[in-house]
Structure 1
Amino acid sequence: MRLRNTIIVLVLFAIVGGYAFIVGRYSQTEATQKLLDVKQDDIAKIELKYSDRDIVLERDKGKPWRIVKPIGADADQAQAGNLARAIADGVLVRTVDDKPADLAPFGLKPPTTTVTVTTFDNKTPPSIEVGKSTPIGFNTYVRLSNSPAVLLTEGAFSAGMNKTVNDLRVRDLMAFKLDDVQKLTIARDNGQAVEIDRDGDNWKIVKPAAYGADDTAVRMALSTLVNARASDFISDAPANVNQYGLEKPHLTATVVLKNGEQQSMLFGFKQNEQGKSGIYVRRGERAPVYAVAEYVMTSLDKSPLDFRDKTIVKFDPESVETVKVKNSDGEFTLKRAAGGKWDVIVGGKTSEGDIPVVERLLNQFRDLKGESIVADPMPSAQPFGLDNPALEITLTGKDGRELGTVRLAKISVKPTVPAIPGEPPQRTEYYANSSGSKAVYSLSDFSFAQLNKPAPLYMANAPASAAPQAAASPAK
C-alpha cells in the first residue's frame, strides 16, 4: 500500500514537471522585431521627406541636435530625442504583402513620409516609407526601401513622424541662470524705465531713484523671462519689423549677466491673425520674430512701485522695549519686563502678558508688507482714511527712541460704475503708512485683522470672551 502511494506521488510530480517544461518551452514571448537595426544613441542624422517639405536634423557625438534644413536653428532636444527614439523603436507587427501589385491602397504611392537615418559611423539603414493607417487595429502601413514588401507597424509611428519645422524648433527665447543675473532693466516706449541691480544676495532699484527692491517681485520677473516660450514662429529674416511693432517696441526687458553678457527681449504689437492672441517679440541680439503668450508682457510691464520693497516698517523685535497700540477700544501698551516677560498696561493697570502672543505680534509686525504701493508720496491722508486711522502702533526701543509708527485704516468704498448683479454695494479697503516713509500701502484684510486685536488677547489667561474686533471707520 505504501509503495503504491509513493508511485502515485512520483507520477504526479512527473506530470506536473512535464507540463511546466512544455509551457515554459513553447509559451516564451517572441522577441519584438524592429523595423530598423539601429539604436537611438547611434543616430547622427534624421531626414524627413514629405510631399511639400524636407526637414533634416543633425548632431555631432555628444552634442545637441540642430535643424539644418530648411533653416539653420537649434532643435528642441526633447522633441528631437523623441523622434530618434520612435525611429529606433519602430516595431514590425507583421508583413501584409510580400510583393504588392499596387502600393496606392496602402498610402505608399507616394508615401506620406520617407524617414532616413545615418549613424555616427556613416551607415545608412534602409529608409522607412510611411503610408496610411489601417481602418481596423490602428496600425500603419510602411515599407522599407530595400524590400518591396508592405509591412505593418504600430499606429503611433505615423503621428510620430509627421513633423513641421516649428514642432522641432527650440522654443526657449532666453537662456540664463537667475543667480547669474547682475542687472535687470525694463524700459517702456514712453521713456520710463526701471533699473534693478543685484546687491549681494538682494536687489536694489537704482533708477529712476534709489530704493530697496522686493526680491520676490524681481525673481518673478526674471523667471518670466527665462521661462518664456515661443508660441509661434513668425519670421526668421524679417525685411521690416515695423509691422510687428518692434521698430519702437512697447517694452524692452534686458538682463546683464555677471560675465557681461546682455540678453534682451523686445515686445511689440498683439498678433493680428485670426484666432491668435500672442504678442510679437524678438531677441534684441537676433533677427527672428516670434510670438509669446500675452501674460509674458503683462507680467513684466511693471512700474518702479511694483518692484519696490513693500516692507512697511523695519526693526529688530529684540530691540523693542514697548509697543503702544491705539484702536477703537482705546489704548494699551505692551512693555518688556524682567526675565524675558511682557506686561500689558491698560488704563494704568498692569497685567502679565502672554509671551508667545506678544512675540508673535512683533514678528507679524516685522514681516508686515503692503500688497502694493498706492502712491509715493501720499498726496493726502484723507482719501485713504489715514487722517483718522482705525489702528496706530508705535514701537519704542530700549534706548527710549521711537523705532517707528504705523497707521492702518479701514474704509468702505462705493463702486464708481454700476454694480454687477449680486455684487455688494460697497467694498472694504485697507491702507497703511509709516513714520519712516511717505508712501501709502494697500493691505489685505488678513494682515489688518492680525494686528487689530484687543488688549486682553495679549494677557496671560486671557478672558475667553476676548476676541479680535474690526475697527470701525466712517465711509469715505
Structure 2
Amino acid sequence: MSYKTTIILAVIGLLLGGFFLFVEPKLRPTDDTEKWQRKVINPDSIKNISKMELRRNDSEITLEKRDEKGKDVWFITKPIQARAEEYVMIDIVSTAKNLDKLNVVKKEAAKTLNLADYGLDKPKCTVSIYSDGKEYKIKFGKESGIEKETCYLQLEGDENIYVVSKDAFGKFNKDINALRNKHIIEYEPYKITKIRMWERFSKEVGGKLQYVQEESEVARRDDGWYLEKPYTERLEDSQVNALISGVKDLTAEDFVAKKDDLKEFGLDIPKNKIQIFEKDNDKPYEIQFGTAPANSDKTYAFNPTMSEVAVVDANKFNALKKGRDDLRSTIVFDIKRDDIQIIAVKTSVGETIIERIEVEVEKEVEKDGKKEKQKVKEQKWTLKKPEGIKISENKVEQFVTKLLDIRVSAFLEKEPQDLATYGLKEPKATVTVTLKDGKGGTFTKSYLFSILADLGDAYMKKDWESQVYQIQRRHYDVLLLSELNFADDVIMSIPPTSIKRISVELVYETVSGKEAEDSYSCKLDDATGKWTAVGNKNKEIDEEKINRIVSELSLVRVTSFIGRTPELVNRYKLNKPHIKITTEIEVDAGGAKKRVEDTLLIRQISEKSYYAKRQNDNIVFKISPFLPAAIGAGIYKEEKEIEEEGHNH
C-alpha cells in the first residue's frame, strides 16, 4: 500500500470516528424511538404534570399539585377542597405518561372519521392534562372491536383515533370518593413536638348545664413527653405516641356536605379538638370530633381545611387516646427499683418494714486458673418489723415487683373537696418508700390507700399531691398481706418424733344435707412407740393412716396467703371449721422437756380448695388437700381388716 493511500484511509477513519463521537449520542436508539412513538402523549412533554381535569357524565373533578412543606401533594380543588389519595395519583400520573397506542384508526385522505362510530362524540371520560403551561386533552370512547379489553381514544389536535387498554380508561374514570384521601389529617409522626387538646365537659352555670372546653398542652422534651398546661406532669410516652399515630391513621368511611351551622354535627362546641404541631412550624394540623349521627355507630370528624365533614367509625374514635387522662402515666410507684432502700407498709393490723442492706458474703471465684474464696458485697433484703418471721428473699423481690406493677385504673378528682369521700382522710394502708437521692443521701415518698366496701374498688393518692386515683382491688389486697407477702411458705414444721398426741374434731355434711359431728384422738406410747386410741379402747389404730397424718402435719406448706384480718376469718367461715386438729408437741425448754399445743382450723370451700388458720391468730391461708384427706380418712382400722388379721392368726 502506498504512502498516499495510507493517508487517505486515515483521514476517512477520523471523519467516521468524529461522526459517531458527535452525532450518534444525539440520535434515539431505534428501540427507544419505537417505544416513544407508541405513546399517546410524548412523555417528555408531560414531565411536569401540575394539574388534571377529569370529566365524566355530568361531573367535573379538578386535581392540582401543590408544594406542602417541601413535598409535592395532590389536592382535589373542585368540586370540593380535599387532599387526593397519594397512591391513586401516582397511578394516574404514571398512566398518563405511559399510555400506549395498541392500534390506530387512520383518517383516510379527503375523508372525515365519524366520531359517533367510536363513541367519541359523547366521550365516557375526558381528561385534560396540564404540564408546563400546556394542555393535553384526551377522550375515551366506547369499547373497541379490534382487540379484547380495549377502547377507543382520541388526543385533541390529532386526527387519528387510537385503540388503548381498557385498564388505562379505568385509571382515569374515577369518582370523587375513589380519588380523595380518606385520612382526616396527615403528617410525619417523628416530626411532632407539641399537641394541644380541648375536651368538652358539662358544667352548671347559673343553674343551667352548659358545655365548656378544657384545654391541655403537651410538649416533647429531651427525656420524653410532658403535660405543660394546665399543670406540669410527666406523661406516658407510649400513650402520647399512640395518640399521634391514632389520629394520623384515622380514616373516613364517608363524607357529608358541610353546612354553615356545624351544630347539626355537634361541631359548634366539639366533643374533642386536637391540634398537632411539627417542629419549627406554628401552623398546626387540626381535627375536631362532634356527635354521632342518630341511631348510628359513627361519629362526625372535621378538618377545618376541608369542605366536607367526615364520618368515622365510633369504635375507632372511642379507642383513640384523645384526652388528658388517656396520656397520663398509670404507674403508681414512679420510682426506680435500684433506688429503693426501705419499704414500710402500715395497715390496721400493724406495720411491716423491709430494708435492703449491704452484706459481705464469701464466694468461690476463679483466678489464674485456680478457684479461691473471696469476700464480696451484695444487697440483701431483711425484715426489720415484725421480728421473728422467716422470710424468703425471692418473695420479697416478687413483692417489690407487685408494687411497681400497680397501675391506675381511673383518674378521679384533681382537687377533691373531701378525702373522706374515698376513705383517704384516714387511709387503711400507707406505703412509705425510702429512696437514694443520688448524692449519698435519701428521701421518702408516701402513698395512701383505702377502700369504702369489702369488695369494692380501692382508692389511693400520693402524699405530695391532691389527685385521687382508682386502682384495682387486687392491688390493695397485696398491701393488706403485709409481711405475709414474703413470709416463708412453711406454716408448720414439726419433727415427726416430737408429735405425741393428735385430737381431731370433724363437721361434715350427711347424705340428707344435714351437718354431723365426729371426733377421734390418739396418743403415742413412748415405751412401745405405738399409737393408741384415746377414749375408744375398742378401736384399733391403723399405723399406716396415723403415719400419714403425722407425715402431713410435720410439714404444712401454704399454697397462698389470703390475709390477716377478722373480716377474712368470717368471710371464709373459719370460725366454724370443718376440721379442728390439735397437735401436742414435745419441745425442749432449757434442757427440760415440755409439751405445747398447736391447733389448726380448716374449712373446705370447694372440691379442692381448703382454707385454714391457726387458732391463736387471724392469718388466713390456703393449703393443699393432702392433710385434710389424711385427716378425713381417720385413724382406725376397718372392721374387715380386723377380721382378716384374726383369720390369718
Letter in 1 for 2:154: L
Deviation string for 1:330-384 (max 9, x for gaps)?
87543323231223468523647436x6446435534533122234438566877
**Paired residue for 1:310, among 315, 324, 330?**
330
Tell whether 2:217 aligns with 1:196. Answer: yes
Residues of 2 paired with 1:102 and 1:396: CA distance? 94
1:141 and 2:151 are equivalent in the alignment = yes
State the alpha-carbon separation in 1 of the partners of residues 143 and 557 from structure 2: 78
Query: 1:38 corresponds to which residue?
Result: 43
Q: Say yes or no: does 1:279 pair with 2:300.
A: yes
Question: Which residue of 340, 343, 349 corresponds with 1:320?
Answer: 340
| 1:261 to partner: Cα distance | 1.6
Instruction: Spell out the pairing of 1:421-460 with structure 2 (5 A cutoff).
Output: 429=457, 431-444=459-472, 458=486
For residues 195 and 164 of structure 2, the distance between their equivalents in structure 1, rounded to whole angstroms, comes to 57
Percent identity (aligned): 17
The letter of the residue matching 2:174 is K
**Structure 1 residues 350 and 73 mapped into 2: Cα distance closer, same or farther (>3 Å)?**
closer
Offset at residue 60 of structure 1 (A)? 7.8
Residue of structure 1 aligned with 2:449, choices 392, 402, 407:
407
How large is the Cα RMSD of the aligned pairs? 5.2
Alignment of 1:222-371 (within 5 A): 222-235=244-257, 238-255=259-276, 259=280, 261-263=282-284, 264-271=286-293, 277-283=298-304, 286=305, 288-293=307-312, 295=314, 298=318, 305-325=325-345, 333-337=353-357, 338=359, 339-344=378-383, 348-349=387-388, 351=390, 353-354=392-393, 358-359=396-397, 361-362=399-400, 364-366=402-404, 368-371=406-409
Correspondence for 1:49? 55
Which amino acid in 1 is paired with 2:411?
I
Closer, same or farther in 2 for the Cα pair 1:432/1:172, shift >3 Å? same
Q: State the SS of the aligned residue for 1:131.
A: strand
Q: Quote the Cα distance in structure 2 between the aligned partners of 1:141 and 1:429.
A: 70
CA distance in 2, matches of 1:69, 1:321: 68
> Cα gap change, 1:347/1:64 in structure 2, threshold over 3 Å: closer, same or farther?
closer
Alpha-carbon distance between aligned partners in 2 of 1:275 and 1:89, rounded to the nearest angstrom: 45
Name the CA shift for 1:253/1:196 in 2 (closer, same or farther; >3 Å): same
Q: Pick one of 78, 82, 98 that aligns with 2:87.
A: 78
How many angstroms does 1:52 deviate by?
0.8
Shift of residue 90 of structure 1? 4.5
The structural deviation recorded for 1:67 is 4.0
Q: State TM-score, norm by structure 1.
A: 0.65
Alignment of 1:164-183 (within 5 A): 164-170=175-181, 171-173=183-185, 175=187, 177=189, 180-183=192-195
Matched, 1:117 2:156: no
Q: Distance in 2 between matches of 1:196 and 1:92?
A: 58
State the Cα distance separating 1:193 from its structure 2 match: 0.5
Question: For residues 298 and 350 of structure 1, do their structure 2 counterparts lie closer, same or farther at Cα, with a shift above 3 Å needed?
Answer: closer
Match status 1:395 vs 2:433 = yes
Per the alignment, residue 142 of structure 2 pairs with 131
The structure with the largest alpha-carbon Rg is: 2
- Tell me which residue corresponds to 2:8: none
* Aligned partner of residue 341 in structure 1, secondary structure: strand
CA deviations on 1:130-157 (whole Å, 9 max, x unpaired) are 43599x97x2423334466563525x43
Bigger relative CO (Cα 8 Å, ≥ 6 apart)? 1
How many Å separate the matches in 2 of 1:222 and 1:183?
9
Does the residue aligned with 1:312 lie in a helix, a strand or coil?
coil
Structure 1 pair 101/119, CA: closer, same or farther in 2 (3 Å)?
Answer: closer
Over 3 Å counting, the alpha-carbon distance change for 1:275 and 1:382 in structure 2 is: closer
Shift of 1:162: 1.9
Corresponding residue number in structure 1 for 2:173: 162
Question: Matches of 1:131 and 1:55 in 2, distance apart?
Answer: 21
What residue is the counterpart of 1:19 in the other structure?
none
Aligned residues: 421
Give structure 1 stretches of 5+ with no counterpart: 1-29, 414-427
Instruction: Report the Cα distance in structure 1 between the residues aligned to 2:103 and 2:478, rounded to whole angstroms.
Output: 71
